[in-house]
Chains A and B, each alone.
Chain A
């Protein structure tokens, strides 16, 4: 449900609109539903309207969780190997 994608604001236009970019594709969208959007911000786009800004810190935090899982696994793998009990 509710197909929405992250896009980057490239420039602000008149009438509460903005030009956004996703992977080299440009589209004019409406900012009527959000406040304080700046050039360079990422917003969630749905049916031509920005629904919210993306919180970069929160995105990084989620990705860090995955990083940690991977690091932990590698550590675990390494310690198993040094024990000689790994398979």
Chain B
């Protein structure tokens, strides 16, 4: 498969790994955070930590929209399906994620709610067209990458004047999350990471320029990376080089897909349909200003939060859960008392265990230390 297989070449990998070993200064430590859950997944799936020197450590970031979605939002989605009896359409990722009271969309479905798994938001529109007598809600999640497809269906729904379709919008933004991780450390005068493997597919939309000010403000090098294992290994080498040279630039390793300014058409479709929320709660990171999107008033008819009355959730996170520290890179999954004891992929307690992309779940499934 072109553009996949070449970037999984084991011979090249051995070479890049040799470079990292040769260039990493044994007197320094290199803690790099891969922001994206997709990168976490690739790291583990290909056994990349195995190829790195002991002083180059990868820390898993919060870039998994499933993990960081607060329980209250999942409860709201379940409420839409159960109390409001809508056809609730969602990506496969969301089905097993537990809300409060250990319930999930999959459990709601087994109790009779009409929950449907989608591959594309376009399928939600089709379901609405095929079921004019039912209210159809698309449970939208994701970072900047997944936002434009949601925007495309909102525009299409308006064009078709659909009366039975709406979106429960949970789109979140990457730069505020990076700030949420780096700012507390900066305030405390400590350094928890020496470099950041930047989001690849988010940058396809936003462009690489979105991170320039972050790299400068936190004096942290950022390398935007593709998702194949060689891309990540290569990015680690580039970060090692920046650290050694004392630089903190934004570099674009994923230049075959990412440009400086991104996809203008996708950006404008997102801007036409959605606007910043004042504040949004992130599971594990708390409330962060301007960190998420809501549907614009012009599209109010298609906003499930306006169309349906949703009760306030009393969801509470487990106090012993170390997810906030894990998400910021201050602690490893194994530092948490709940990890692999009470909290497992079959019974996730915290944000990092709920999706296979989460730091704890990936660590549990692929890790050497259990």
What residues make up the interface of A, taking CB atoms closer than 8 Å to B? 1-6, 8, 22-23, 29-30, 32-35, 42, 44, 46-49, 51-52, 54-56, 58-59, 61-63, 65-66, 69-70, 73
Contact = CB atoms under 8 A, between A and B. Distances in A.
15 contacts: A1-B37, A1-B39, A2-B199, A3-B38, A4-B227, A33-B152, A47-B91, A47-B120, A48-B123, A49-B120, A51-B266, A52-B257, A52-B263, A55-B255, A55-B257
Nearest to B226: A62
Nearest to B200: A2
B357 A1 contact: yes
Given A2-B200, A66-B234, 13 more contacts: A1-B37, A2-B36, A4-B227, A30-B149, A32-B152, A33-B263, A34-B265, A47-B119, A54-B3, A55-B256, A61-B255, A65-B234, A66-B12
A1 B201 contact: yes
Nearest to A32: B152
A77 to B, nearest CB: 11
Contacts of B3: 6, 42, 54, 59
Nearest to A4: B201
Nearest to A42: B3
Given A47-B149, A48-B122, A1 B36 contact: yes
Interface stretch (B106-114, B138-146, B291-299, B345-353): B138-146
Interface string B213-250: 00000000000000100100010000000000000000
Nearest to A45: B120
B145 A54 contact: no
Nearest to B39: A1
B6 interface: yes
B180 to A, nearest CB: 16
Given A54-B256, A73-B15, A5 B4 contact: yes
A69 to B, nearest CB: 5
Given A1-B64, A3-B38, A66-B16, A49 B149 contact: yes
Given A1-B36, A1-B65, A70-B11, A58 B255 contact: yes
Interface of B: 1-4, 6, 9, 11-12, 15-16, 18-19, 35-39, 63-65, 91, 119-123, 142-143, 145-146, 148-149, 152, 199-202, 204-205, 227, 230, 234, 253, 255-257, 259, 263, 265-266, 269, 357
* Nearest 3 A/B pairs, CB to CB: A48-B120, A2-B201, A59-B256
